[in-house]
Amino acid sequence: MLMNNYETIKRVCTQCTRSFTSIEPLILDWKNNTTQVKKIVQKLNALDKEENTPDGYGRFSASSYLYAQVLTDREAIKKLLAQQGSFLTSKARETLAYWGEHPGFWCFFAIEQMMEEKGFLTVVDLISGEKHLVYSTALCDLQQTSNTKDKHYLCLLLPNGECLQTAGLIRYYPLSARDLRFYCSMFEPAEELGTIINKHYVRFFKLDLLLSQPVPMHKEYELRKTWQPFTLKDFDVSRLEGLWVTVILGEQQKFFFNGPTDSMKAIPNAEILPEELPMMGGTLVRETSTGEMGLVTNSEVSYGIFSTLLNRAYPELQLPERPAVSIFLTLIELLNRDDFPLPWKQFDSIMQYREDEVEAIEDDEAYAEEVIATYMQRYREKHGIEDSSDEDDSLKTEKENKVVQDILGKFIKTYEVKAEDRPIEFVDCPNPSLQTRMNFFLNLTDREVFIIDDDREAFDEFTILTNGAYFDEAKDTGIATFIENLFVNNFTSEKDLPYILMNAFFWVLLHKGKEWAPMRSYAIEMLKLFPTPIIKAYPESEDFIEAFSTFTRKILATRGVCYLKARPKAAEVATGMYAIKGSEPFFTLVRSVVAY
C-alpha cells in the first residue's frame, strides 16, 4: 500500500501514538492480574538480574508480552474498553475500539524499501507474502545501523487505518522464513505464528540468543543442517558412487562419505568435495528393521550432491531438489539445548556414535609395577628430573619413593560425598584405572587419556558454535591447545592442577554429557577422582565447586565446550546447580578414552 499524502498519514500516526501512550498503563495494570500472567512477567523481569543480559531487556520483553496478550485479542480489547474505557480520552477510546475490530498481529518481515519521507518503510511479511506500509522511526534506525541492516525483523504491528506501527521490542534475526516456520512447528505445527508466540512467549523467545548473529559460512557456502527422510527396504551402500565408511550400532547403521571417485565428476558441484571434506560431506542413517533412512548434510549444496548420488543409484527414490528440512545451524544448536523433538531424533544414538577401540588393562602385580615405572618416567620428563645412573642406589630409591608417594597421594585418597549431594551424584560414571589417572596431568595433544581428533571438522564445528569469536586464536594453536589454554590460564595455583581438572572434567563429560545434569554433579565427580590436588588448592570443597562452576559458565560454555540448558542465576552459579551437557563440537574433538 503506497500513499503520497505522508503528512496526513503522519498526523494519524501521531494520534495513534498518543492513544497508545494513554492505553499502555491500563494494559500493564489490567492484564497483569492473573496468577499465570504474573508468573510470566516475573520470569521475564528477572532476566534483568542475570549476567550478560542487555540493560532493560527483561522489562521491555515483559511489556511486549502484555501488549500482545491484549492487543492481538478482540475479546480482550473489548473487555478492557468496557472496564477501563472511562479513564481514557475520547481519541484513545476510538483507537482502542478500532483495534477491537482490527487487532494487532505478530509479523516476521523484511524491509523492502525506505521511503523518502522519514519514518516510513514498506515491508514484506515473510510468512504470508503480504506487503505493508509501516511508520516506525525505531525500525528506520535499525535499518541504518550496520549490524542490524537488512535483517529479518519480528515484532508486534498495530494498524491505524492508514498504515501499521510497531509496538514493543523489535527483534531481528539471521533466519529465513523457512527457518522460522520450522521453529514454529516445534511448538504447534498447525498453529499460526501469533498464536504460538502468545501461548509460548518465554520459551519461544529463547530465540533471542540468536539476535544479531551472523549467518554461519564455510568459505562461500552457507551452512545449514539439511535432513531428507526416505525408505529403502533393500539398501546396499556399494551401489553408491564414492568412498563410504559403515558404522553399526544395534539395529541402526551409519554411512559417512569418505571421498569422491572419478565417476562423480559429472555431478554438479561434486568438484568441491576433495578440498572441502568433511564439512561439505554427507551422512546416511538407516533403521535396518524398517528400511527407514535419512540423508544429513551441512549445506544445501552438499544436499544436492548426495541426493543426486542416491537418485542415480536408486532411480525409484526421486529425492526432491530441496531437502525436507534445511535449518540455520545455530538454530539447531538452540533446539538441541532445549530438547525439542527434532525430525531425526530416532537416529540420535547412531548419529552421535563413535566406533573406537578401547583396550582393557588387568589390575595385577605386573600392571602395578608398570604403572609406577611409566609414571616415574613421565614425571621426570615433565619436571626435568635427571635419572642419574651413578647416584647411590639407596639415595635414589629414597628420592623416587618420596616422589611416588607424593604423586600417588593424588589418586588414592577419597572424597566423602555429602549426604545432600547424593541424589545428584553420578553413581555409574566409569572409574579410570590407576594408570589412566596417572596420565591426567598430561596435555590433551599427548593423546594418553583421550582419542583426540583435532582436525578441520572439530575446528569448523567450534567456529560455527561460537560464531567465529575465537577464530584467530584457535586457528593459531589448534582447538585442543586452545581449550587446554583456557584451563592453564584460569587455574594457576598448582603446576599440574589445570591438566588434572581438564582431563577429569572431560572424562566425566565424555561419559555423562549426552544428557542434562547439574554442573555440581561434575564437580563432585572430579573431587572423587582427585581429592588431594583439588583440596590442596581449595581447602573448602564448596570453594572449588563455585570456582569451577563459574569457569564453566563464563569460559567453557561461551567457547562451545558445553551447553547451558538455561541462563543460570548468580546463586545457581555459586552452587553449581544449573544444568549442562556436552556440545557436538566437544564430542567431535574428544572421541573416546584410550583406556579405562
Confidence at residue 35, expressed as pLDDT on a 0 to 100 scale: 82
If we measure between CA atoms, which residue out of 252, 324, 325 comes closest to residue 284? 252
Cβ contacts of 135 within 8 Å, gap of 6 or more: 9, 10, 13, 119, 120, 121, 163, 164, 165
Q: Is the previous residue joined to 278 through a cis bond, with omega within 30 degrees of 0?
A: yes
Mean pLDDT per 10-residue section of the chain, whose length is 596 residues:
72 95 90 80 90 86 95 94 91 95 97 90 96 95 87 96 96 93 94 96 93 78 93 95 89 90 92 84 95 95 97 96 92 83 91 47 39 56 55 49 51 74 89 77 81 80 81 84 93 85 95 94 93 87 95 94 91 94 92 75
Confidence at residue 200, expressed as pLDDT on a 0 to 100 scale: 96
Confidence at residue 6, expressed as pLDDT on a 0 to 100 scale: 84
Confidence at residue 78, expressed as pLDDT on a 0 to 100 scale: 93
- With 0-12 CB in 10 A as exposed, 13-18 as middle and 19+ as buried, what is 61? buried
All three cell numbers of 596: 579405562
Instruction: In whole angstroms, give the CA distance from residue 525 to residue 512.
Output: 11
pTM: 0.63
All three cell numbers of 455: 582436525
Computed from CA positions of residues 206, 207, 212, 213, in that sequence, does the dihedral angle turn out positive or negative? Answer: positive
Confidence at residue 451, expressed as pLDDT on a 0 to 100 scale: 86
Confidence at residue 394, expressed as pLDDT on a 0 to 100 scale: 47
Asked if 230 contacts 295 with a C-beta cutoff of 8 angstroms, the reply is yes
- Strand pairing class (562-564; 579-582): antiparallel
Residue 148, CB-side half-sphere exposure with 13 Å CA sphere: 14
Confidence at residue 535, expressed as pLDDT on a 0 to 100 scale: 86
To the nearest 10°, report the CA torsion of 163, 166, 167, 173: 150
CB count, 10 Å around CB of 534?
A: 28
Confidence at residue 447, expressed as pLDDT on a 0 to 100 scale: 75
If we measure between CA atoms, which residue out of 296, 299, 355, 359 comes closest to residue 329? 299
Q: How far is CA 319 from CA 237, 253, 308, 312, in A?
A: 17, 20, 8, 10
If we measure between CA atoms, which residue out of 425, 428, 422, 431 comes closest to residue 521? 425
